[in-house]
Amino acid sequence: MENYTITVLGCGVMGTAVISAIIRSKVEPFPSKIICCSNTESSSVKLRSKLGDKVEYSFGPENNKKAVSEANVIILGCKPYMFQSIYEGVKDVCKDQLVISLLAGVTIEELQVMSPYVAKVMTNTPAQFGCGMAGIAFSPEAESKYSELVMQLINPIGKAIKLPEKNMDAATSLIGSGPAFCLLFLESLIDGAVRMGIPYDIAKESAAKVMEGTAKMVEETNEHPAVLKSKICTPGGTTIGGLLKMEDAGVRGGVARGVEEAAKISASFAKKK
């Protein structure tokens, strides 16, 4: 696709993160125009302060409808419950554009009222800093025609992988909710360190770096986490003692069941419609 325009409907945290990543990236071909749509002028002013002058801004129903009519690619970054009302406002100018949805709980089939060409993306808040993760499911029509472009547009948030739509509820849990689960563990590490006398600021900085370095070690070595963990444990040592205390408290099962529960809740959203 050459000389294409991206229109973003709803620039919340995720929509802004994706557009920021695209602006910073060297996507080829780069969009000739990016239009960010919001409801009010004040929202547009806030967006401009975040994104600068490399994008155009639109607010209000008629202006946003015009922005959609100009689009080759539509990114849906609104709240999921707003999708239907937004669609009603722009349906007359939907003309089989590529639709990239960031909406949890809205299926590809539901999104295809806008276009047969749909990519459903689940990403997360670390995307704001270029170290996010994204799982992407495609409609058959989009898979064959636009998968390469979508991967190029989303990869700059950190990393993007393809997933079948049947796995998107699990991806919502692992990828979307995962940072909150990690933050709970990070907070626990900090609390333990503070309990043992380390000042909070030092404990926070140290714990955050431990988690960052551990994730990097898993990525770089490609070894199973259990193998890497065993290399840290010396017989009769501190690490194995601490791990056994965590196992006694059910940490492993609690985390795994937390991922399971979040995925079930994600699946329930579609059933309630």
Judge whether 39 is annotated as a binding position: no
Is 172 exposed, middle or buried (CB count within 10 Å of its CB: 0-12, 13-18, 19+)? buried
Judge whether 135 is annotated as a binding position: no
Judge whether 13 is annotated as a binding position: yes
Judge whether 11 is annotated as a binding position: yes
Query: By the 8 A CB rule, do 53 and 83 touch?
Result: no
Sheet of strand 73-76: strand arrangement: 56-59, 33-38, 5-9, 73-76, 98-101, 118-122, 132-138, 158-162
The alpha carbon dihedral of 15, 142, 54, 67 has a sign of negative
The helix or strand, by DSSP H or E, that contains position 166, with its residue range, turns out to be none
Judge whether 52 is annotated as a binding position: no
Judge whether 77 is annotated as a binding position: no
The helix or strand, by DSSP H or E, that contains position 178, with its residue range, turns out to be helix 178-195
Q: How far from 147 is each of 34, 69, 141, 155, 242, CA to CA, in Å?
A: 20, 22, 10, 12, 45
Binding-site residue set for NADPH: 64
Binding-site residue set: 9-14, 38, 64
Binding-site residue set for NADP(+): 9-14, 38
